[in-house]
Amino acid sequence: MLFMEDKTNATSVIEETILKRISTRAYLPDKQVNPKLLKKVMELSFRAPSWKNAQGYYLLALTGEKKDALVKELVEEAKTETARPDIPYDTSYPPAMKKRMFQLGTDLFAHLNIGRKDKEARDKFSLRNFEGFSAPVLIFCYIPKKLKEWTTLDLGLMLGHLALTASAYNLGTCFQASLASYPDIVKKYTAMDDKWNLMVGLSLGYPDKSAIENSFRTERTDLENTFKII
């Protein structure tokens, strides 16, 4: 059977690397990521293809005291202010997608033993998003203001590489819209101006393997709902 012949060390590793990647929601806050390692991960990720090799993005990583100060301000802001992202959230999802999104919320809170009506516990957990779940590294992804979907697609391709490279190095990641909710605050800490849109943020670090958050696994819809060969 052709299919078995295709299996190699490389295909086993890519499968493991993909399957062990999760949205990491608890990190070892004091286990620092070696800057050399972080740069190596980024260098590999930037090998991703982009429109005519434009590499139309700029990423800034915050660590240490600066990161702590930013996180403190973001959490305070999130307690009282609604999000004001540079890029408006998508809201008009078709029913099948909405159903998957609703299911994720239901499943996650059930896994965390947080009751549907326990607003206090839900709010407390939601605020942890703005701390990047205590990750030692937060990365903020910028795109020039005048560039739109095609460059966003390129950024995504690069972040797909980043997620898997980090996973191969046993680093956890979580892509978080929350970290891009208050771009003015983030831009202050990352010395970026309004010529750039803050597209998305991500937390990165060594996962806390004992944390209940990290034993949560999400399903994917059946392949036939997202892919078809004609």
Span 16-75, contacts to its own copies by CB under 8 A: 16-19, 21, 23, 34-40, 42-44, 46-49, 51-63, 66
Q: Please identify which residue in 2, 80, 82, 113 interacts with its own copies, judged by CB under 8 A.
A: 2
Q: Which stretch binds its own copies (CB under 8 A): 73-81, 89-97, 113-121, 122-130?
A: 89-97
Q: Please identify which residue in 14, 69, 110, 212 interacts with its own copies, judged by CB under 8 A.
A: 14
Report CA Rg, the chain.
18
Tokens (6 digits) for 189: 């800490």
Within 13 Å, how many C-alpha atoms sit on residue 145's CB side?
Answer: 8
Across 167-186, b (16+ Cβ under 10 Å) vs e yields: bbeebbbbbbebbbbbbebb
Residue 15 touches its own copies, criterion: CB under 8 A: yes
Q: Please identify which residue in 30, 80, 82, 89 interacts with its own copies, judged by CB under 8 A.
A: 89
Cβ proximity to its own copies: between 80 and 91 the closer is: 91
Cβ proximity to its own copies: between 91 and 210 the closer is: 91
Q: Give the integer Cα–Cα distance in Å for 219 and 74.
A: 30
Q: Give the integer Cα–Cα distance in Å for 140 and 185.
A: 12
Considering only residues 121 through 180, tell me which ones interact with its own copies, judged by CB under 8 A: 144, 146-165, 168-170, 175, 177
Residues near its own copies (CB under 8 A), total = 99
Cβ proximity to its own copies: between 30 and 80 the closer is: 30
Q: Give the integer Cα–Cα distance in Å for 198 and 140.
A: 7
- Min dist CB 110 to its own copies, Å, is 14
Residue 218 touches its own copies, criterion: CB under 8 A: yes
69: CB partners within 8 A, 6+ apart = 189
- Min dist CB 208 to its own copies, Å, is 19
Residue 109 touches its own copies, criterion: CB under 8 A: no
Beta strand 58-63 with 172-176: parallel, antiparallel or unpaired? Answer: unpaired
Q: Write the Ramachandran bin of 101: left for phi over 0, alpha for psi from -120 to 50, otherwise beta.
A: alpha
Residue 193 touches its own copies, criterion: CB under 8 A: no
Residue 221 touches its own copies, criterion: CB under 8 A: yes
- Min dist CB 117 to its own copies, Å, is 20
- Min dist CB 169 to its own copies, Å, is 6
Query: Which pairs from 104-110 meet CB under 8 Å and 24+ separation?
Result: 104/218, 107/216, 107/218, 108/216
